[in-house]
Structure 1
Amino acid sequence: MDCPLLVWMLFLNREMTLEEYDQCHRTIRACVPHANVPYAREQLDTTRQIIAHMLPLLMMRHRRVPRSRWKDMVSENGKHYIEQDIDNALNPTGRLRAMIGYHLAYDSNLIGMVMTQGRQRDVINVGIGIKQLAVSPADIAVNVYAESFYHKLTPLELGFIKPEEGDEVVLRRLCLLLALKQAYIKAIGQPMGFDWARLEFNIPRHTVTGDGVPLLGWEFRVWTSDIGGTRGDASVEEKYQCAIAFFRGTPQTRFIWQKERKDIESWVQFINLDQLINVVPKLMD
C-alpha cells in the first residue's frame, strides 16, 4: 500500500507562559476532549501532553481543513485516526481513502507526531518512538542507567549493547532499541504496560520477532534529531533517537536508516513552540 509517512517534530525551545498555558489548555479541552489532560502547570508533563494533542489540530489547519469538517475517531484497539468530511459526487470513495492515521509521542523537550493518509484499515497501525540520548538523572553513570532498562530487553539485545565498547555506544544502542520498541508497541495499540521483552530487534540482521515469531510486513524508519537553541540565557544542544513503525502488509520487514538531515527533509518537519503559539487562536476555526 502506498501511504506516505509524514512527521512533525516540535522542540520546546522555551517554557510556556501562564497565559499561553491557559490558552492551549482551553483549546484542547474544547477540541480534543478525549485527551483528559489535567490543568497542572507545575507538572511539566502536562505541557508536553497539551502540545502533543495540539499537533493534529495544527496539521489539519495546515491542510486548510476547517475544524467542522473533520472528526477524531478511535478504533477498537484504541488507535486514533482522523475522518475527513469530503463531499465529491464524482468520486464517492474518496472519503474512504481520506482517513489520517496518527500517533503522538514525546520525551524531554521533543514532541513528535507521525501521520499517514489512506483507508482506515491501512493507516491506523502507525507509531513513533522518541528517546533522548542522555541519562536521567544527569549525574548517573551510563551503565547504571542502562541496567534500569534491562528488563525490557532480551539476551540477544543485551549482547548488542556491549558495555566494553564505551558509554557512547551503550547509550546510543540502548536508545535505539527502546525507540523501536516504543514505536511498534504504540503502532499495534498496546498500553505501556506491555512486556517489552516479548519483542526482539536483531539490529545487525535487520529483523524483529514477537514472542519468537518473525514480524513481517512492517516498515521501520530510524533517525536522530539534533536540536540546538537557547532556553533563557542558556545554550541547549540535545540529541534524540527517533523511530517509526508502520504496517504496510508487505511480505518482508524493512528497516530504513536515515543518517543525514537531507534524507529526512522531504518527510520530517521541525517546528518550535513559538510557531505553534502564533496560530493557537485560529486552531478552533
Structure 2
Amino acid sequence: MQVWLIDHPTFLDEFLYHHALTLLDASSLGRVRRFYQRDDACRCLIGRLLPRVLLSEKGVSARNIQFATTDAGKPYFVTPGVSPPIGYNVSHDNELVAMAFAPGEHGPPAFRIGVDVMKVRKPRGEGVASFLRSVGDTLTDAEKRFLSSIVPENEVLSCFYLNWTIKESFTKAIGLGLGFDFRRIEFDIPTNTVTVDGVLATNWQFETIQVTVDEDVYQVTVAHFMESGKGTVVPLNQGQIVRSGASSFVRKAVHQLKGLELEDAVNNDS
C-alpha cells in the first residue's frame, strides 16, 4: 500500500491549470468546471489526475484509462490490461490532496481501501467543548467520555480528527460513505483498536499519520482490508508516502500523459 500526498493544490498558476484540464476526459472535465470557486476546482483537478498518473506509470495513456463507479458512487478502474488490479481512493481538504492505493485483492471491483484527510482545526469562534457537542452525533458514548477527559485542547482536537478520519476512511473503503452511522464504528484510543457494531474489525488495518503544510497540521488515515489486519491503528510508514507540491505534480502528469499519448499516436500510425 502507498499514499501519494499533493500539497498546495490551490497554488496552481493559470498555465498549469488549463494545461492539466486537457488531460481529463469529458466527464471529469465537466466535474471540475462545475465548481464556482477556483480553489475547489483545483482540488478536484488534482484528485482526478492522481489515478491517471498512477496508471501512466504502468504505461497506460490517459485516453485508454477507463473508470466506473459502484452504485454508491465509489470510482474504480475498468481499464483493460492492468494486472494485478489496483484499488484506490482519493481525499482532499484545504491544501492537501491524498490518494491511497494497493493491489486489488479483496472486494472487487472497487476493492476495500479508503483514505481520508482533514485539517486539524476547530470552527472559528467556537470552543473545544461546544465543538465536541456539535459533532456528538458522530461519537459513541465511550468516545465522548474519553475526549472530554483530555487536556490540553490541541490534544483533544488531534484525537477527534484521528477518530473522524478512521471512521471516514472505513466507510469509504467499504464503499458506503454518506449514510453510514459513524456511531457504529468505535475507536478505543487507549488500546488503538477499532470495532464495528461492537465487534473487533478483524482483517482491517488503519494506518495514520499527521503531516504539516505550512503551519497547519493535517490528519491522514487509510483503512485497508488485509488478511493480516487485526483492527488496529498503526503509524503510516514514511516509506509508503510519496509527497510533492501541486505544481511539480502537474508538470509530471503533463509530461507522462502527453508522452504516452504521443507514443500511442505513433504506434497507431505505424
Q: TM-score, normalised by structure 2?
A: 0.83
2:219 to 241, 259, 266: 241
Q: Percent identity?
A: 23
Q: Which amino acid aligns with 2:55?
A: M
Q: For 2:64 and 2:233, how far apart are their aligned partners in 1?
A: 36
Tell me the residue number matched to 2:119.
132
Q: How far did residue 77 of structure 1 move?
A: 5.0
- Superposed CA RMSD in Å reads 2.6
Alignment of 1:101-180 (within 5 A): 101-119=87-105, 121=107, 124-137=111-124, 139-162=125-148, 165-180=151-166
Residues matched between the structures, number: 257
Q: How far did residue 171 of structure 1 move?
A: 0.6
Unaligned runs of 5+ in 1: 87-94, 228-235
- Cα deviation, 1:136-179, whole Å, max 9, x if unaligned, reads 33x43233333321111001111221355121111111111001
Are 2:67 and 1:67 equivalent residues in the alignment?
A: no
Q: Indicate the larger mover: 64-73 or 152-161.
A: 64-73
1:50 to 42, 45, 48: 45
Tell me the residue number matched to 2:235.
257
- Cα deviation, 1:178-226, whole Å, max 9, x if unaligned, reads 0111110100111323221221111212322222233221011111112
Q: Which amino acid aligns with 2:199?
A: V
Q: Which amino acid aligns with 2:232?
A: R
Q: For 1:192 and 1:19, how far apart are their aligned partners in 2?
A: 35
Residue 51 and residue 248 in structure 1: after superposition, are their counterparts in 2 closer, same or farther (change >3 A)? same
Tell whether the 8 Å contact from 2:69 to 2:75 is kept in structure 1 after alignment: yes
Q: For 2:153 and 2:211, how far apart are their aligned partners in 1?
A: 19
Query: Which structure shows the bigger proportion of residues in strand conformation?
Result: 1
Tell whether the 8 Å contact from 1:83 to 1:100 is kept in structure 2 after alignment: no
- 3-state DSSP of counterpart to 1:22: helix
- 3-state DSSP of counterpart to 1:184: helix
Q: Indicate the larger mover: 196-205 or 62-71.
A: 62-71
Unaligned runs of 5+ in 2: 262-270
Q: For 2:153 and 2:24, how far apart are their aligned partners in 1?
A: 40
Tell me the residue number matched to 1:221.
207
Are 2:19 and 1:8 equivalent residues in the alignment?
A: no
Q: Which amino acid aligns with 1:248?
A: M
Q: How far did residue 10 of structure 1 move?
A: 0.5
Q: For 1:21 and 1:68, how far apart are their aligned partners in 2?
A: 19
Residue 149 and residue 62 in structure 1: after superposition, are their counterparts in 2 closer, same or farther (change >3 A)? same
- Cα deviation, 1:40-68, whole Å, max 9, x if unaligned, reads 35253232122111111122223333335
Q: Which amino acid aligns with 1:247?
A: F
Tell whether the 8 Å contact from 1:98 to 1:118 is kept in structure 2 after alignment: yes
Q: For 2:229 and 2:242, how far apart are their aligned partners in 1?
A: 30
Tell me the residue number matched to 1:190.
176
Are 2:32 and 1:37 equivalent residues in the alignment?
A: yes
Query: Which structure shows the bigger proportion of residues in helix conformation?
Result: 2
Tell me the residue number matched to 1:90.
none
Are 2:240 and 1:267 equivalent residues in the alignment?
A: yes
Q: Which amino acid aligns with 2:251?
A: N
Q: How far did residue 269 of structure 1 move?
A: 0.6
Q: For 1:50 and 1:136, how far apart are their aligned partners in 2?
A: 26
Tell whether the 8 Å contact from 2:6 to 2:245 is kept in structure 1 after alignment: yes
- 3-state DSSP of counterpart to 1:279: helix
